[in-house]
Chains A and B, each alone.
Chain A
């Protein structure tokens, strides 16, 4: 069946690298009133060459290093594709809780979804879209 589904859209060109999304996410996903980008399920990666910034939402955990390392070219500039990869993996030391090493994953917070990272993103690099999609019927 078809249903309206909420999704976060990331516009890399609009991101200013302010990382307010990281503070919003971490403050909202801890019971300890703590702002800590290391507990955030979104991370803004910086490309030192171009000065561009790339917000990446934490995806699923994988326990193996990826073998298909590749590059991606955006606007004539070549990047290590790991920058844009959403996985928490043994290679890339992000999206793990410091100390416990528990992997972190974006849960599209809010009921209905109304994620804090989107609410605090003033540059509009992050927006919440509602799109019609084929979904599995709940039994």
Chain B
């Protein structure tokens, strides 16, 4: 077997036993791996109507056929499960070193079923698999968990050979925005996958693998990688060769602010006066210590940082663009150290920074408008209050005080205080940091994403703002449905291969670059056509899961702020998101009926049922 390693590890937590199964190669060709294959297995194995935090849910860690093969940015693994935040299918993607190590141990995928009677962690050393007690790890942060497990295995060297993924206190306490953190700062961030892990009493996975992964033809593979390195670092690929390595993803702060769509004070406006102070450029000049790359990635957008404000002392990794924009602009805060501190807390407690930022911003708006009384919070929580941000994030992760309400997600918070319209999210998941009033296609992308509001299901910012390959007018709705469908299908493919989506930000990178990689890595007969069809198949399968879970057409929408309140100022002044101009066309292009349900003909074409 090449590309894939051919085995699936299935762990029954209830009975503390496991089995190793063969990978179904035909299924792997149809769904590629990672997000696609894991979604297919979840769809086949669970009833989509179950309670996501019950033992009936399954939790899948899945790599793709290119993970760990040396393909550039081939570091990714996905965590697939039913989300306790959205009730939709969740597939959260993470980089670092964990995914490749899992494959080197010989497993394409690990499936967790049931619920352990007591806290446990999974220990994998090639063929040695043990379900070990995690009683002493429960309550520990993700950083402490990694350090303790490494120490137990043996320091300085033996422990260093293991790669660890874990949940922090937020996951244990079933915080609905809890994430899974590997290598201390890489997050399978969204949709509350960490809470599912916590509900199963599964604290961590520690893995070491010495078996490697094979490809079909070394010489051809090296040649393809050489070409992709050149394409990625070429002068034309400004985003991947210059912007990301130099400034990290936060390079976007100034660009997005200048475009008038930077989420400011819970998306009340699209321009933030303090943008420069929290930009990627400022970060690089002040707090940045080092660039950090995920496994085999030349972009190295990771940031090792240390704060310089004694009130917010700390060091760690981050922040990314989304984190800076949500904790910064959306909370009205221009103190980069405070943003970093909130980010470090999220990494250590194991929480998604995008949702955490949206929740705090929502709480601040509720507070300022007098809907959320100060006595419920215990302190002032106005926009711009950096101390409040840091406190609220910590309380959320620990479910202390008002944090217990915040941990239920932004929608639950806003609803409790009778103003659900003030939560900026789709399908109960918080919005990434681009105001859809000034990027029409991105608005449609948020509304139709299979995992709730999301920027990495189809990153139309690439074309509407950055102009990668083609620059499209961000204000027009015309043609956006078709562009979106193409982006969604290609993204589903990339997420399933084990590559990082950021590769698609390299000028000229497209499906034609993926085919030879997949072909030479796996030996399977991938073509551009069958690969993109696989992407469409994956998208439709996720849609079917969601429909069975109870999703309806009315859920494919945006918060009323974006549809009804014109942008008050800046380059986007006066505009709203004209979703209704795009959604029917999108359904039609997808081969779905007017209620957004895939037609029998479409399902037949894709081989789904």
Using CB atoms and an 8 Å cutoff, list the residues of chain A in contact with chain B.
16-20, 23-24, 26-28, 32-39, 45-46, 48, 50-52, 80, 82, 91-94, 98-99, 116, 119-120, 122-123
Contact = CB atoms under 8 A, between A and B. Distances in A.
Contacts of B104: 36-38
A98 B208 CA distance: 12
B225 A120 contact: yes
Nearest to B146: A48
Contacts of A17: 292-293
B295 A18 contact: yes
Contact of B210 (A23, A45, A98, A119): A98
Nearest to A13: B290
Contacts of B156: 80, 82
Given A36-B104, A94-B157, 6 more contacts: A16-B302, A18-B297, A20-B297, A33-B215, A46-B160, A93-B161
Of residues A20, A52, A93, A123, which shows the largest number of chain B Cβ atoms within 10 Å of its Cβ?
A20
B298 A35 contact: no
23 contacts: A16-B290, A18-B294, A18-B298, A18-B300, A19-B97, A20-B297, A23-B70, A27-B218, A33-B217, A33-B221, A34-B212, A35-B68, A36-B211, A38-B212, A45-B160, A51-B292, A92-B157, A93-B157, A94-B157, A120-B225, A123-B245, A123-B293, A123-B300
Contacts of B602: none
Given A16-B291, A82-B156, A92-B157, A33 B214 contact: yes
Interface string B139-183: 000000001000000001110110000000000000000000000
A93 to B, nearest CB: 5
Interface in B103-153: 104, 147
Contacts of B291: 16, 123
B222 interface: yes
Given A20-B296, A37-B104, A51-B304, A32 B214 contact: yes
B298 A122 contact: yes
A18 B296 contact: yes
B210 A36 contact: yes
B14 interface: no
Contacts of B304: 51
B314 to A, nearest CB: 13
Interface string B191-215: 0000000000000000000111111
A20 B302 CA distance: 16
Nearest to A25: B70
A95 B215 CA distance: 22
A53 B96 CA distance: 13
Given A16-B293, A52-B290, A120 B317 contact: no
Nearest to B184: A48
A93 B317 CA distance: 28
B243 interface: no
Contacts of A82: 156
A83 to B, nearest CB: 8
Interface residues of B, number: 46
A99 B232 CA distance: 37
A51 B72 CA distance: 22
Interface string B59-96: 00000000011101000000000000000000000000
B49 interface: no
B200 to A, nearest CB: 28
A88 to B, nearest CB: 12
Given A20-B298, A93-B158, A36 B212 contact: yes
Contacts of A28: 218, 222
B289 interface: yes
Contacts of B298: 18, 20, 122-123
A18 to B, nearest CB: 3
A51 B290 contact: yes
A7 B129 CA distance: 42
Of residues B68, B184, B292, which shows the largest number of chain A Cβ atoms within 10 Å of its Cβ?
B292
Nearest to A37: B104
Contact of B300 (A16, A39, A46, A99): A16
B293 A27 contact: no
B373 to A, nearest CB: 42
B2 interface: yes
B233 interface: yes
A49 to B, nearest CB: 10
Return the 3 tightest CB-CB contacts between A and B, nearest first.
A36-B212, A18-B293, A23-B70
A16 B214 contact: no
